[in-house]
Amino acid sequence: MCAAKKNVMDYSKWDKIDVSDDEDDTHPNVDTGSLFRWRHTARVERMEEFEKRKQDTEEAYSKARKNRQEIEGKLKSGADGATKADVDLAVKQEADAKEKWDDLLREEKKQAWNVDTLSKDGFSKTVLNKPSKRDTKNMTEEEKEQFYVDFVKKNEADIKKFAFFRNYDDSKNFLTEHMHLVCEETANYMVLMCLNLEMEGKSALMEHVAHQSIVMQFILELAKQLEVDPRSCVSSFFSRIKLADKQYKEAFNDEYSAFKIRIQERAKVRLEKAMEEAEEEERQKRLGPGGLDPVEVMNQLPKELQDCFESRDTSMLKEVLAKMDKDDAIKYMDMCVKSGMWVQEPSEGGDDENDEGDQPKPTLEG
């Protein structure tokens, strides 16, 4: 059993998700926040790139304006080296720089909000009086695991109720009445629900639960950015999402789509692994006394030998072996013995020897 990981946003753990198949007695070891790693990293990089471009454009506009003012001043004072053509060129360069600056400001205004920009001043929040925070930072890995197990055992029914809501008012009212569910443990369990539903082929139901999972994750991420208790962000989140603000909804749906893709990919990997393990287990059961797989051996035999085993005809087998090259016959029959496809009966006489070229009497195994 894998040790539990910290239930915090840790983007470095994106490729280390390890979910237990038995959520009842094993911590799923899922860092829910890390499911947003690639989305969050890409978004931050785009924001940094835009800020750099904004700074460069503003500086270019300021420089062009200053240059135009200097040339106009020289022309008015009659200084040498300044002509009307120079002024016209400077005016054009300033106009071009201003157009680029205006375009950038318009682009900035159209950008969607996200959990990073929502942490800036101006986003309202509710403050609880001395909220009691659960603190797992100082717990050992075993204590964290037991904490999760106890939490799920006590709250599983309520988590599932929340997972199947879709109306925002119902979700808000339920969380308001069950504030203890606004935590990483609930988010982790809902990720596991999504994985299990997708693996069971219930994709539509998975998408329903995934929506609620993103609701919970948005609340937790917002609380982290604002450095407040997650419960104090419940009312603010639902108030904002119910306004149906286009930019905020797009940010939410963007995370929702990315989450569903990640769940589908993870479920596919887990199903493939489960099938491989089942096939290997079945193969191990088939292995003969010599450690060979009869299915693999059968596929390697010449067609005439395959026909003998498929028909379970011992006489035909003897005839085919007698016509084969002796070394080939020995090689193939050794493979059959080691795979359990051919069992030689013990000689009744003990000291009797077979005539040269005769093959031992085989018992064909199905």
Q: What is the DSSP string of 6-18?
A: -SS--GGGTT---
Strand partners, 364: 342
User: Structure pTM?
Assistant: 0.47
In the structure, what pLDDT confidence band is assigned to residue 298 with cuts at 50, 70 and 90? confident
Cα–Cα distance, 297 to 275 (Å, whole number): 22
Residue 25 has pLDDT above 50, yes or no: no
The residue type at 209: V
Cα–Cα distance, 253 to 5 (Å, whole number): 28
- Residue-wise pLDDT for 224-253, tens only, equals 888 888 998 898 888 888 776 677 788 888
**pLDDT, position 162:** 93
Phi then psi for residue 47, to 5 deg, are -65, -40
CB contact at 8 A, 310 and 364: no
Residue keyed to tokens 């629900």: 193
Residue 169 has pLDDT above 70, yes or no: yes
In the structure, what pLDDT confidence band is assigned to residue 139 with cuts at 50, 70 and 90? confident
CB contact at 8 A, 179 and 231: yes
**pLDDT, position 362:** 45
Helix and strand counts by DSSP (H, E) for the chain: 12, 2
CB contact at 8 A, 290 and 344: no
CB contact at 8 A, 305 and 317: yes
CB contact at 8 A, 226 and 196: no
Residue whose C-alpha is closest to residue 215's, from 246, 172, 160, 157: 172
Q: Kindly give, in sequence order, each residue whose CB lies less than 8 Å from that of residue 210, ignoring residues fewer than 6 positions away.
A: 194, 256, 259, 260, 263
**C-alpha radius of gyration, the chain, whole number:** 36
In the structure, what pLDDT confidence band is assigned to residue 351 with cuts at 50, 70 and 90? very low
Q: How far is CA 267 from the centre of its chain?
A: 9
**pLDDT, position 179:** 93
* pLDDT more than 70, % of the chain: 72
Cα–Cα distance, 127 to 226 (Å, whole number): 11
Average pLDDT score over residue span 26-49: 54
Cα–Cα distance, 292 to 73 (Å, whole number): 94
Average pLDDT, the chain: 75
Residue keyed to tokens 């929040």: 125
CB atoms within 10 A of CB 54: 15
Residue environment code for 170-182, b if the CB has 16+ CB neighbours within 10 A, otherwise e? ebbeebeeeeebb
* pLDDT more than 90, % of the chain: 16
C-alpha separations of 326 from 139, 338, 345 in Å: 70, 18, 21
Cα–Cα distance, 30 to 33 (Å, whole number): 9
CB contact at 8 A, 84 and 138: no
The residue type at 327: D
**pLDDT, position 42:** 57
Cα–Cα distance, 36 to 134 (Å, whole number): 23
**pLDDT, position 278:** 75
CB contact at 8 A, 330 and 321: no
Cα–Cα distance, 31 to 78 (Å, whole number): 71
